[in-house]
Amino acid sequence: MLIRSAKEVLTTGGVIASVVAALAGAGMLWLVVVMVVQTVHDGTGVFETVGIARPTPLWMGIIALCLLSCAGVAFIVDGVGYLVRAARGELPRPAGDLRARREHARRKASRHQRQVWARSAEANRQRDAGE
């Protein structure tokens, strides 16, 4: 959707769904282009009919193409927008995710706790360098 949900989080399923939505939108736009080219190539007039199996008035076809192209653009904008926000790191992780818990603990940690973590990390680096 064009308006982002407040509870949007980064998940594997969300990334897969966004890729599928972007591809579906591109497919819709490709279908619109193919149908416009076919209609122009056949040379149908404004008040003639389009369609092979079942004739449809051209004005109905034009409305359908407009709606299909709008839906295709919306799918692409939503799918690619989610992927861009995910790549920039703007999406939070789900609450139960281990990395989310670590990030939350890091944000809420006191100054003293951050100093303890820094000393521990430095000791680990020196131990690893000495081996």
**pTM assigned to the model:** 0.61
**Could you read off the pLDDT of 100-109 as tens digits, one per residue?**
667 767 777 7
Domain ranges of the chain: 1-92, 96-131
If one compares 12 and 16, the residue with the highest pLDDT of the two is 16
**Could you read off the pLDDT of 30-89 as tens digits, one per residue?**
988 888 887 777 766 544 666 666 666 777 778 888 999 999 999 999 999 999 988 988
**Burial class of residue 75 (count of CB atoms within 10 Å of its CB; 0-12, 13-18, 19+):** buried
pLDDT reported for residue 131: 67
Going by the DSSP 8-state scheme, the letter that residue 7 receives in this structure is: T
